Structure 1
Amino acid sequence: MRMALGKAGFTLSTQVQQTLALRYADGRLRINFDGFVACVTRLETLFKLFRLLDKDQSGMVRLSLAEWLCCVLV
């Protein structure tokens, strides 16, 4: 998965990759094509949203609970 996500332009920590596997993989830790596309689409959306919110490009944003929920439910 690390290589496939890398080819898609993502460099993610092991922790994030494990979380993605929990979310998108089946019981054998395999991700089918549709799941991979959903995963990459979600990552692209979240990265774009983060860049919009990170106005000073510090790598950190501060959100209220309502703002955070709106972001993750996109």
Structure 2
Amino acid sequence: MIWHFDDNKTGKLSLPEFRHLWNKIKEWEAVYVKHDSDLSGTMNVHEMRLALDEAGFHLNRQLSEAITSKYRDSHLVIDFDNFLSCMVQLEAIFRKCQEYDRVGAGMINMTQKQWMQIATLT
């Protein structure tokens, strides 16, 4: 988690980097609590899809289900820890992709090396 928010890659968070991370955690916690509609302390597939959308990750059904499948436990639900891990990973992917989408078209063109950097980043 720290690595993804360590913008200057010093191996530790500066105060502004820490504030950014802390604000994101609080934001994601509010999304999690809001979409845990059955108050179980976990999220099912439907709740997760709504939470992803509210968090700004507008994904199609197939991608939402793939992400949910990656982060769910043996009871097919996502706890807060796994939800945070998912949010950090998506935040890193989206941020990196925005760097490559220079014109804001929602499409990127990258080399294999660039793709590998994003894939291994997460």
Unaligned runs of 5+ in 2: 1-47
Distance verdict in 2 for CA 1:57–1:39, change over 3 Å? same
> Paired residue for 2:68?
21
* Residue 57 (structure 1) aligned to one of 82, 101, 104: 104
Distance verdict in 2 for CA 1:7–1:57, change over 3 Å? closer
Deviation (angstroms), 1:7: 3.2
How far, CA to CA, are the matches of 1:6 and 1:56 in structure 2?
23
TM-score (structure 2 length as normaliser)? 0.55
- Residues 1-25 of structure 1: CA distance to partner in whole angstroms, max 9, x if unpaired? 1122233232221011111012111
TM-score (structure 1 length as normaliser)? 0.85
Tell me the secondary structure at the aligned position of residue 73 of structure 1: helix
- Residues 13-65 of structure 1: CA distance to partner in whole angstroms, max 9, x if unpaired? 10111110121111332111110000011111111111111012221111222
How far, CA to CA, are the matches of 2:83 and 2:90 in structure 1?
10
Whether the 8 Å CA contact 2:71–2:78 is kept in 1: the answer is yes
User: Which stretches of structure 1, 4 residues or more, deviate above 6 A after TM superposition?
Assistant: none
Cα RMSD after superposing both structures = 1.4
Identity percentage over the alignment? 32
> Paired residue for 1:45?
92
Unaligned runs of 5+ in 1: none
How far, CA to CA, are the matches of 1:63 and 1:51 in structure 2?
12
> Paired residue for 2:58?
11
